[in-house]
């Protein structure tokens, strides 16, 4: 339906928020697992965990994942830090 890229962006942002609160290593495992899934989908040329009536676009998932990382980098680079 075209929302998978945006959902991957939100996943990265949510994982970052959870990491800041908990520091739990499972957050990194989930993030790495999502990236490995996207790489596998890109290599396979199709979604691995879902079946839909429309074609999957794995590069949209990767773009969303990278977009989330980019937003975090921008946020962190513009954060106000105490003197």
Over the stretch 18-77, which tens digit does the pLDDT of each residue have?
A: 999 999 999 999 999 999 999 998 898 877 777 777 777 888 889 999 999 999 999 888
Helices (H) and strands (E) in the chain, counts: 3, 0
- CA-to-CA distance for 72 and 78, rounded, in angstroms? 10
Looking at residue 79, its pLDDT comes to 64
Looking at residue 33, its pLDDT comes to 96
Looking at residue 80, its pLDDT comes to 57
Return phi, psi of residue 74, to 5°: -65, -45
For the chain, the farthest-separated pair of C-alpha atoms sits apart, in whole angstroms, at 55
User: Average pLDDT in the 8-20 region?
Assistant: 95
15-16-22 Cα angle (round to 5): 85
Residue 78 pLDDT exceeds 80: no
- CA-to-CA distance for 37 and 43, rounded, in angstroms? 10
> Taking the model in full, what pTM does it have?
0.80
């Amino acid at each position: 339906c075209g929302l998978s890229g945006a959902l991957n962006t939100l996943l990265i942002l949510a994982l970052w928020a959870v990491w800041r609160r908990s520091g739990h290593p499972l957050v990194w495992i989930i993030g790495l697992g999502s990236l490995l899934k996207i790489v596998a989908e890109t290599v396979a040329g199709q979604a691995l965990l879902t079946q839909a009536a429309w074609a999957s676009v794995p590069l949209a998932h990767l773009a969303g994942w990278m977009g989330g990382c980019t937003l975090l980098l921008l946020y962190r680079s513009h954060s106000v830090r105490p003197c």
